[in-house]
Amino acid sequence: MKKTLLSIIFGVITIAAFAQEQAVYTHYQVFPILVNPGYTGFEDEHQFLGNARTTWTGFPGRPVNFTAIYHGPVGEKLALGGGLFSEKVGDMNTVKLNFNYAFRFRIQKARIGIGLSTDFINRRVNPDLLSNPLVQPNDDVLENLSDGQQIFDASAGTHILYDERFFVSITLPNIVRARLDEVPIDQRSQQTSLFEHYIFQVGYIVDVPSQNFKIMPSLAFRQIRDTPFQVDVNVQGRFLDEKLITGLTYRPSNNGSVGFLIGTKYKALQLAYSYDVSFSKFQQFSTGSHELTAAFNLPRKTPKPVSTDTSDLYQ
């Protein structure tokens, strides 16, 4: 049993060495900005957001990541944002700094946001790992990672809301990827097909004003770098002017998993918490995954109209 557990731990460390920089969130259905730069400033308000997620809680070397984001409108069409992402998996630490740029416009009943994200990524492994008995001596990958790896990455996305009911979200991660160092770690081609990695979501908002609630079913398809293909079946409910937010996510891949979400919105503050549990055998080594998000929203200040009344000039 001990040998099996050590093997699993080392497997987590090995995966971390080639982990994706696009974190897998559950709260993207409440806060699309977590995965889509096209949502930058989409609601015409300034948002400050903090997210924390721990996966496979209770398992040694589990992934733990923190995200801090600001985004908001700049004028009528332009929106800007930025964020800081930190993740620790085993002995691997990843830090990402990103900047978002988005253009917002309307075509008849459709509100559209098109955005670009530029990311600067630093990955580094703890040098103490090299003395671990589970690690093969003179491992070039880990030795080079102990010196750090720097990457420039760019992603694009669009978010479309039609008639305030039907929405489509498309994100294309890793459309431009370049190494900023000379560490010979990843021997694969840095250039990939434009649609090789993507996050696609489609859904519908069923609004029942007489009962003061909304139901939002949606489907999401995710193919992220170095991560298996994943499908999310989501149902979200918002009640009493969003004072109560509930959600359920089912992922059929890898023996299946389910996520439960609950949240609230009070004036400018919005909170969400979710708990994910897997149906795979690995669940016996873990107590599930937890995710917490807090957001603070401020409406955009619109400029006061310039008065054209000149009658007082002649008094």
- pLDDT tens for 182-205 read 655 554 445 556 678 899 999 999
Task: Tell me which of 265 and 178 has the higher pLDDT.
Answer: 265
> What pLDDT is attached to residue 152?
92
The highest-level CATH class for domain 2-15+36-183+191-300 is mainly beta
pLDDT digits (tens, 9 = 90+) for 114-146: 999 999 999 888 777 666 776 666 666 666 677
Confidence of residue 5 (pLDDT cuts 50, 70, 90): very low
pLDDT of residue 34 exceeding 60, the answer is yes
pLDDT of residue 4 exceeding 50, the answer is no
Average confidence (pLDDT) over 196-220: 94
By percentage, how much of the chain surpasses pLDDT 70? 78
> What pLDDT is attached to residue 57?
87
Task: Tell me which of 209 and 293 has the higher pLDDT.
Answer: 293
> What pLDDT is attached to residue 258?
95
Among 155, 145, 99, which residue's Cα sits nearest to residue 122?
Answer: 145
Task: Tell me which of 222 and 130 has the higher pLDDT.
Answer: 222
pLDDT of residue 309 exceeding 60, the answer is no
Q: Which residues of 63-74 are buried (b: 16+ CB within 10 A; e: fewer)?
A: bebebebbbbbe
pTM of the model: 0.83
pLDDT of residue 60 exceeding 50, the answer is yes
pLDDT of residue 10 exceeding 50, the answer is no
How many other CB atoms sit within 10 Å of the CB of residue 124? 16
